[in-house]
Structure 1
Amino acid sequence: MAGARVLGMPWTQARRRQLLASRVDTTVAVVQLMRRLHKAPRVLVSASAVGFYGASPNASMEPLDETAPPRPGEFQSDLCAAIEHEARRAEALGVRVVRMRFGVVLGRGGGAYPMQALSARLGLGAVLGHGRQRAPWIHLADAVGLVRFAMAHQTLQGPVNAVAPEAVTQASFARALAAAFGRRVWLRRPGLPLRALLGALSTLLLDGQNAVPSTARVRDTVLCTRG
């Protein structure tokens, strides 16, 4: 797991090159190291994201399991596809490759949660756009549990949607988070100004993927890792 932060700065051409290089070059280096070893490792768990499926503004989108294709030409899809392409080169070395496609990882230590929690605590949680876009997520403990599961179970390989069993809507998520702090969501941020301000980066906020973890064993693990 490596790479420059996706959220934050607009996706200018320079920023896109940085996002690609920080992830793809790291994956290339890992596979090259494997080639130099006298004995290659048994498994490579690669970190990708549900952005592999692109972004859809359609609120009634069909569920996307691990067999769904990417969307060439959309940056977040191309980014994830490039990472996975390089990771799969390890298969030629006899290495079992598991390609984790993570939703938004939520945990107190960093990532997306602290800023979202601060906004909710201050009563500044908001519905973004129409709010019906799907927001696939996973708790940090479950994400770590899935990585450990992938390392330990030799029958698991290929893509894995590392997300909670149901992708809630952005509005539902915002309201649930606000309620956890005894607050209500009363702000709405229209989509058009956000798209004008953030450009392609706005797809992470205003569009979504109805990603589902169809791999049966992984689905069971998502439900019980924190048990």
Structure 2
Amino acid sequence: MKVAIAGGSGFIGEAITDELLKHGHQVCWLTRDAASAANKRNVEYIQWLNEGDQPENRLEGVNAIINLAGESLSSGRWTPARKSRILESRLHATAEIKRIIRSLSHKPSVLLNASAVGYYGTSTRQTFTEEHQVQPSDFLSQVVSQWEAEADGAGIRTVLMRFGVVLGQGEGALPRMALPYKLGFGGTLGSGRQIVSWIHIRDVVRAVLFCMEQPSLQGPVNFTSPKPLTMKAFGQTIGKVLGKPHYLPAPAFAIKLLLGEMSVMALEGQAVLPQKLVESCFEFLFSSPEASLKDCLLP
């Protein structure tokens, strides 16, 4: 199978690439600068998103496209300029993916387009599945709604991968969440009542391949563990796994002062269940928060 990945050099893209290569698949990365891209074993680099680029000329015969491209949400304060880049980078990349698909003589069988549980907004009371349709209520939900709308109309089976908080070793959100505990002053962020819908990176990778191979799966698919938990319980579990105390709270006003509008990523959340994956008999390797954190945090 030949798989094209946009955003392949990121945390999730690297993990998916490693798994695809391990199973003997052909992988190509769509990149703005193919000439200077570091060689990653047998990955083929295809330049795109620059004026005059025609990546479609090298993508005939591709079986699946995975779109993870977009400016990072957590690389700086959400100034008006950064918010614009966060949205536009996602819309532009997704529109280009659709253009590429339309130009191919032989279409891929599936587009797997990144999305996020931020679609559902925030709540400490409601539990969401893919059946819920909500009106955008904040910046993240607005971005996700527009991103998913842009992915519509690709003309092939499309899976909208609504990622929760992805846990892994060395990358993603977990190292920053665990650092205060490692330094001995971990504690609850904000009220602690906000819900963390999390998933282990290995289950993300397996779920991507599962969706690729299951023709019945399309539309939004929640990439989350079946066992979301509160931020307080999540922090306590980190402390337990690391053998560190959980006692020094970080008040909401301090986090808002430090991060501005981006603080919503730490202070708000939503309980999101992977109903479609469960109904399709996908088996999670990591459904226990403690087991997942042990795998990610311990040698």
- In the superposition, the TM-score normalised over structure 1's length comes to 0.90
Task: Answer whether contact 2:159 2:221 (CA < 8 A) is retained.
Answer: yes
* Partner SS state of residue 118, structure 1: helix
In the other structure, the counterpart of 1:66 is 130
- The reply to whether residue 173 of structure 1 matches residue 234 of structure 2 is yes
Distance 1:205 1:217 in 2: 27
- The reply to whether residue 209 of structure 1 matches residue 270 of structure 2 is yes
The 3 A distance-change label for structure 1 pair 62 and 13 is same
The 3 A distance-change label for structure 1 pair 157 and 74 is same
Q: Residue type matched to 1:151 in 2?
A: M
Q: Which moved more, 1:114-123 or 1:5-14?
A: 114-123
Larger radius of gyration: 2
Task: Answer whether contact 2:224 2:274 (CA < 8 A) is retained.
Answer: yes
In the other structure, the counterpart of 2:188 is 127
- The reply to whether residue 161 of structure 1 matches residue 222 of structure 2 is yes
Unaligned ranges ≥5, structure 2: 1-67, 288-299
Distance 1:130 1:7 in 2: 21
Comparing both chains, which one has the higher relative contact order based on Cα–Cα distances under 8 Å and sequence gaps of 6 or more?
1
Q: Which moved more, 1:69-78 or 1:214-223?
A: 214-223
Deviation of the 1:22 alpha carbon: 2.0
Q: Which moved more, 1:102-111 or 1:146-155?
A: 102-111
Structure with more of its chain in helix, by fraction: 1
Distance 2:133 2:179 in 1: 36
Task: Answer whether contact 1:136 1:163 (CA < 8 A) is retained.
Answer: yes
Q: Which runs of 4+ in 1 moved over 6 A?
A: none
Distance 1:98 1:21 in 2: 21
In the other structure, the counterpart of 1:81 is 145
- The reply to whether residue 29 of structure 1 matches residue 96 of structure 2 is yes
Alignment identity in percent? Answer: 38
Deviation of the 1:29 alpha carbon: 0.9
- In the superposition, the TM-score normalised over structure 2's length comes to 0.69
Q: Residue type matched to 1:34 in 2?
A: I
Task: Answer whether contact 2:189 2:250 (CA < 8 A) is retained.
Answer: yes
Task: Answer whether contact 1:164 1:222 (CA < 8 A) is retained.
Answer: no
Q: Residue type matched to 1:145 in 2?
A: R
